[in-house]
Amino acid sequence: MDAAMTPSPSSHYNNQASLPSQSLRLSSLLEEAILEDINGYIFGAVEGFYDKYFVEKPWSNRTKIILQVLDLKFRDGRWTECYKLKTYSGFYKWLLRFQAIFLTGQDTQYKYSKAPSHHFGGSIVLSLPNESSWASVQVIGEFRSGTYKAGFLRLCGQAREVFASQPIRRFLHGFYVIGDMMELWVFDRSGLYSCDPFAISQHPDQLVNVMAGYFLMSHKERGGSTLMQEDINGNYIKYQLDASTSIANLYLDRQPIASTSTKDKNFISDGLVCYRARHSNSNKLDLVVKLKWRPTWGSFEKRILDLIKEKKVCGVSEPVFHGEFDSTKDLRGGLVFGSRLMFSNYDSRGSSATGILNYTEEVQSTSSQGTELEFAVPFKNSLFCCTVVSPIGRSLHTFETVSELLEAFRDAIKCHRSLYQDGKILHQEISDGNILICDSSSSSDPRGVLIDMEVVRELRKIAKKGEIIGAGRFMSIGELTGSTHTYRHDLESFLYVLLYVIICGGSEELPETSRLCDWTEGDQFQLGQMKQVDMQPEEFESIISEFPENLKNLSDLAKHLRRILFQGTTGGLWTGTDTSDEGTNALYENTIHAFESAINSTVNS
């Protein structure tokens, strides 16, 4: 063995290091949530996978040298050392020794989830040294001696945690070992896809190349963000308004003011995250940086924001910069994708050697997982966009007084009205992350603004049939049951956001016992039917009974809004839309007046 490859004592792996906490067995609810997230967005045995990520790389010469030094031996077509890797303990010990001998002096190290004596299985991740958080994890892995599905869902659970902690990560590498089979995976915001699985006993050279490759990859090759950088002043992004201006740095606040990843942790999502920001020559956080993966069919936000400015729409953030930096299509370039897959309703009894293909079935376009238009293409192509806007705002969940919260809702609804009636634009994605509280010293400035104009619809354009936009918990009954999206549906979403923020009570997480937790379960039609039941007077009383004691005084407002939205002229629960000028004005005015009355009551109490 080359002396240069003999590790020094200081570079040996720290046996006390462990990856972030994750239970060995997932709860049935978490398994269901993961399946809901990934089904229909899985691709197995993708052609070109191994070559794209592990062949002819800047570090390939080093892995070739490692293989020469190892001088792998075979007997009867099988690697003579493969028996040592049959258990989690054996696999990890081999990896530990491999790392210590060949991979010293790097900025990462492999860490394990359980003591290496645990034979059933466990997690192995590549992480930054001396750190034990999901924010430091670079590659995820799972070893399993049991059933395929259970271990695979744990691997997906790791991916959820990583993307929740690293919301602007471009993609994530992962590996799954079950028995003698090894399957390599990549996770991104549009789904997950794998290589053709291989047998470790027959292809130990691939095992070595992969485990060394993960270690030797650059930050970019591992899927890390290429947009955000760091210096002694903190995290920043570079931007340039146009060719005539110089490149400038925008420094981001440490914590985001809004993030979709922190709530449901679904990694197949838009990954929306918003930060307060400042120019490099200022200490004032007076900008908002919004980072998001948007669908390619969505509206171009800068053009929409410019149109809003031209139409003099009130209460909408003004654009400073907009740029597109990555696309799923480019990240997956050179790969050949087959059919979309989802887990079968039955447990396969075949060999795990065929990997994911043995446990899944093809998704038909009639699946509830998406529209026929979406499933007509190999995969969902998204664009990673950065939008910088002003004025500054903060999350609804950070409200300091009840009147501040109500004023933010009132002014956001006024903004929605101006957007719709003056700008002839329908927002379509009302959520707790798209309404911000504004801190302003002027009484004439709005206390709440709407952000996120990626999926708005100009009224001159015909709505796409069956198009579903937004988070299920905030979607209107009409949209969930197949109606074309209208302004009234957005006003209904404002009610759902209000209920959510009140019941969260200053947190961004619902109590586990909340009825609203069910508003993310099932397909869109089931969710629509569930909300129809929950908006009945008796059931609605059960929801407002969950209001925290300090917000009980908002019960009357919630009931008033329910009556305004759902009480039609024929009795029962009315979910239609009056599109006449008179009906539209009446609904907006009644809704705004309800908030103003509640604000006055709060101030005078």
251-298 pLDDT per residue, tens = 999 888 878 766 667 889 888 888 989 988 888 888 889 898 887 765
**Could you tell me if residue 330 is inside a domain?**
no
Residues 362 and 457 reside in one and the same domain: no
Parent domain of 203: 3-10+22-224+346-367
* Same domain as 179, residue 137: yes
- Coarse DSSP helix, strand, coil percentages of the chain, rounded to the nearest 5 percent: 40, 20, 40
Do 363 and 404 lie in one domain? The reply is no
428 and 575 inside one domain: yes
- 114-128, 317-331, 473-487: range with lowest mean pLDDT: 114-128
For the ranges 78-87, 184-193, 302-311, 419-428, which has the lowest average pLDDT?
302-311
pLDDT of residue 21: 52
pLDDT given at position 389: 82
* Residue 229 belongs to some domain of the structure: no
Q: Does position 377 have pLDDT exceeding 90, yes or no?
A: no
pTM > 0.85: yes or no: no
pLDDT at 17: 38
Asked whether residue 64 falls in the same domain as residue 162, the answer is yes
- Using 50, 70 and 90 to split pLDDT, how confident is the model at 118? low
Are residue 55 and residue 174 in the same domain, yes or no? yes
- Please indicate, yes or no, whether residues 425 and 519 belong to a single structural domain of this protein: yes
Same domain, 416 and 355: no
On whether residue 62 sits in a domain, the answer given is yes
The reply to whether 377 falls in a domain is: no
Question: Tell me, what's the pLDDT at 324?
Answer: 85
**Residue 347: CB atoms within 10 Å:** 10
Q: Are residues 212 and 66 in contact, defined by beta-carbon separation less than 8 angstroms?
A: yes
Percent of the chain residues topping a pLDDT of 70: 87
- Dihedral angle sign, alpha carbons of residues 71, 89, 188, 130: negative
CB 161 within 8 A of CB 22: yes
Q: Treating both helix axes as pointing N-terminal to C-terminal, what angle do 204-216 and 60-70 enclose, rounded to 10 degrees?
A: 140
Spatial distance between the Cα atoms of 166 and 279, rounded to a whole number of angstroms: 23
Q: Round to whole Å and give the CA distance between 490 and 272.
A: 19
Same domain, 357 and 473: no
- Asked if 363 and 454 sit in the same domain, the reply is no
Q: pLDDT tier at 455 (50, 70, 90 boundaries)?
A: confident
pLDDT at 70 over 70: yes
* Alpha helices (H) along 15-147: 28-38, 49-54, 60-70, 88-102
User: Does residue 15 belong to any structural domain of this protein?
Assistant: no
CATH label of the domain that carries residue 539? 1.10.510.10
How far is it, in rounded angstroms, from Cα 233 to Cα 253?
11
Q: Is residue 333 part of a domain?
A: no
Whole-number Å distance between alpha carbons of 77 and 465? 57
CA angle 158, 85, 81 (to 5 degrees): 150
Task: Say if residue 512 is in the same domain as residue 584.
Answer: yes
Same domain flag for 356 and 405: no
Q: Let me know if residue 283 belongs to a domain.
A: no
Number of H helices, E strands in the chain: 17, 25
Domain-located, residue 374: no
- Could you give the number of structural domains in the chain? 2
